[in-house]
Amino acid sequence: MWVLAGLLALTGCTQPEADGAEPPTVTQSPQETVEPTSDAPGDDGSDAGNEDPPVPQEVEAPERPAAMDEETVDGAIAAAKYFMELYPYIYATGDLEEWDALSDEGCGFCVNVAEQVEALYSAGGYATGVATEIYAEYGGGPYSDDVYIVDLGVRFEESVFVANDGVRTEYDAEDRPEFSLSLAWQTDGWVVLGVDAGAEA
């Protein structure tokens, strides 16, 4: 189980540098930041553990930006931001169509997120929260193998995962100021090749 504002896992991903050299592969082990909330009453005799679970949210799909239709640095930035705007949407709805369309099959982060969402919803669960805020952006490329690199500052708000039996798992907010995505322009448009979440602020 991997965690980032609910869940984060990184498989190795390599980001090309501007001079075409390849930096070392970055690998981060899964980190569980919080434990599931107990259903038992609090130690002080309160019924805090028996509160009703949050209800599923109604979330609109993010709007696909027109800039994504361009093979430019601005197009890469727009695609990266849209991809991260899909993150809370897929957890809130279980709808992976756009996420999968933008994900390269070799992107470990992309695959792990999709598998987690599928597992959650196929078991009758859902998530609330998981909102993201993108507060910084920078892009460059194309570099080696025509790869573009987009660096984002991303803040993941606290979230709650609710199982089909009502058991809740709560996750704290996280701030990732060096969230980096590698993208490439292919026949059908942009695809995300890999993600390096960087260190938590």
What are the tens digits of pLDDT across the range 115-154?
Answer: 999 999 999 999 988 899 999 999 999 999 999 999 999 9
What kind of fold does domain 1-7+64-201 have according to CATH? Nuclear Transport Factor 2; Chain: A, (3.10.450)
Structure tokens at 139: 């892009």
Domain boundaries, the chain: 1-7+64-201
Task: Give the whole-angstrom CA distance, residue 176 versus residue 84.
Answer: 12
pTM, entire model = 0.76
Alpha-carbon dihedral angle through residues 105, 2, 173, 77, given to the nearest 10 degrees: -20
How much is the pLDDT for 155?
A: 97
Which residue do the tokens 């990184």 mark? 10
- Residue 35 phi, psi dihedral angles, 5° rounding: -105, 155
How much is the pLDDT for 39?
A: 39
What are the tens digits of pLDDT across the range 74-89?
Answer: 999 999 999 999 999 9
Structure confidence at residue 166 as a pLDDT band (50, 70, 90): confident
DSSP for 21-63, written as a single string:
PPPPPEEE------PBPPSSPPTTS--GGGPPPPPPP--PPPP
Of the candidates 14, 193, 182, 5, the residue with the CA atom closest to the CA atom of residue 104 = 193
